[in-house]
Amino acid sequence: MKQSFLVTMMLAGVVGWMPNAVAEIEIHKQQGMRYVTGGGTPDSDKEMKDLAPRFPIHLFFAAKGLEERIEGVNITVRDVKGTVILEAESEGPVFFIDIGSGRYTIDAEYAGEKQSQTKDLTGRRYLQMRYIFNE
């Protein structure tokens, strides 16, 4: 009964107003910072692209010899004093952080391999950081 109703509504063009069945990517908050993680599928890639301008730090993850999406990267962000200000795990190959200006060290760990980058975020610019792991 429900299925025939939905089919009828689709044929009538009424279903267009219904919300998209694809879940939206969740924006997380931790210690006053916002971050979002995802990507790796066409719908998720589009959502991440739409969200990108709202997050000044963009992290991208890949593993050599691995074509499918990478997830489960452990992220640690430290301020200039070495204080941990964010710890999270990626849910896809893309991770965006909304954070104020400053110098940050961002550690990414995947499959036992840890990589670290220190960058300065100043003004209204964006930082794009790539982490390529050996797999």
Q: What is the CATH number of the domain that holds 73?
A: 2.60.40.10
Q: Does residue 67 form part of some domain?
A: yes
**SS3 state of residue 51:** helix
Q: Does residue 26 form part of some domain?
A: yes
The alpha-carbon radius of gyration of the chain (Å, integer) is 19
Q: How far is the C-alpha of 28 from the C-alpha of 108, rounded, in Å?
A: 18
List pLDDT tens digits, range 19-40.
343 457 899 999 889 999 999 9
Q: Does residue 1 form part of some domain?
A: no
Range of the domain at 34: 21-133
The number of folded domains in the chain is: 1
Q: Does residue 127 form part of some domain?
A: yes
Q: How far is the C-alpha of 93 from the C-alpha of 59, rounded, in Å?
A: 8
Q: Does residue 91 form part of some domain?
A: yes
Q: Does residue 109 form part of some domain?
A: yes
Which phi and psi angles does 86 have, rounded to 5°?
Answer: -155, 135
Q: Does residue 4 form part of some domain?
A: no
List pLDDT tens digits, range 72-100.
999 999 999 999 999 999 999 999 999 99
Q: Confirm if 27 and 50 have CB atoms less than 8 A apart.
A: no
